[in-house]
Amino acid sequence: MSAPAPTYVPAASDVEAAARYGADAARRAADAVRDRLGVRAPACAIVLGSGLGALADDVADARRVPYAEVPGFPETTVVGHAGSLVAGTLAGREVLLLAGRFHLYEGHPAALAAFPARVVHALGAPVLLLSNAAGGVRRTFAPGDLMVISDHLNLTGRNPLVGPQQPGDQRFPDLTAAYDPGLRRQLREAAAATGQAVQEGVYAGLLGPTYETPAEVRMLERLGADAVGMSTVPEAIVARAVGMRVAGVSCITNPAAGIAHEALDHAEVLEVGRQAAGRFRALVTAFVGKLE
């Protein structure tokens, strides 16, 4: 018999959100789904961004729990985000997949946007691989390029660690190497092993939900951003605060506003993600196979 779906009620403030989506809540959520997922010793957890959810089809012996049945998780509302927690094996390694995420632009607090990172950490994952669909700020990018994230710019105006310090968190985590250099090297090696080239660069995380104006893209270019999107940063911050190693991959779905003159829309983002899915799946599978 499946557990009754918990009722999701939005938090009223950052302080309330920190308590509601903190370490204790993550442990309760992990306890609620551990037996259903049959989690033993996952090598890593992977967040699947817009249009990149097909990787879940490659997981052997897959067990799924809908987000609506994970305590503290709301249902996903964005097209291209399936909304399920998946456990199984990939490249012979135990993995956890987060098929969909919660975005700040949906009205969620930053602590909730990052809550899945806490939950997979409580389930034993030492590594978090984040993926996303992003606009290309670097002018040499082409739709379908894969970019290993080397660093990020948090331009959301939000931080998921605001509020009371959570048990086990670093109060002031060092983000000098937020995206682990060793994991970045392994992603490059995985790309070479699968016969594909990957880019590397800085991801700018904005609040959304609007796409950027051409003036904002020029600003991002001057700030040193190579790609821009509306996710990833909250999860990376919390994962580092709890001691996880973090890696990230952006699928460049379109040139950012003003670089090309075509109108931008989410359907295009999803379509380019689907077109790049085969290379993304090959890259991630090879990467997981290289993990200790």
126 HSE (CA, 13 A, CB side): 10
pLDDT of residue 155: 98
8 carries an active-site annotation = no
Q: Which of 84, 103, 204, 212 is catalytic?
A: 103
Among residues 26, 29, 56, 133, the one annotated as catalytic is 133
Virtual torsion, Cα 28, 14, 213, 227, nearest 10 deg: -40
Looking at residue 221, what is its pLDDT?
97
User: What DSSP designation does 79 have?
Assistant: T
> What integer pLDDT is reported at residue 193 of this predicted model?
96
- Note if 254 is an active site residue: yes
Look up 106 and say whether it is catalytic. yes
Annotated catalytic, 261? no
- From 211, 254, 256, 282, active-site residue: 254
228 neighbors 214 (Cβ within 8 angstroms): no
150 in active site = no
Strand partners, 228: 135, 204
Active-site residue, 231 included:
yes
CA 281/CA 269 separation, integer angstroms: 17
Closest among 122, 131, 177 to 285, alpha carbons compared: 131
pLDDT score at 262: 67
Q: What's the residue count for the chain?
A: 292
DSSP tag of 6: P
**Residue from 88, 112, 94, 100 nearest 22 by CA:** 112
Catalytic residue check, 250:
no
Concerning whether 103 is annotated as a catalytic residue, the answer is yes
212 noted as active-site residue = no
Give 31-51 as a DSSP string.
HHHHHHHT----SEEEEE-TT
What residue spans of 101-226 are helical by DSSP H?
110-113, 115-122, 181-193, 214-223
* Catalytic option among 21, 50, 125, 190: 50
Contacts of 13 (CB under 8 A, 6+ apart): none
pLDDT averages per 10-residue partition of the chain, 292 residues: 56 78 96 92 93 87 94 74 87 95 93 97 98 94 94 97 94 97 97 96 96 94 97 98 98 81 67 80 95 84
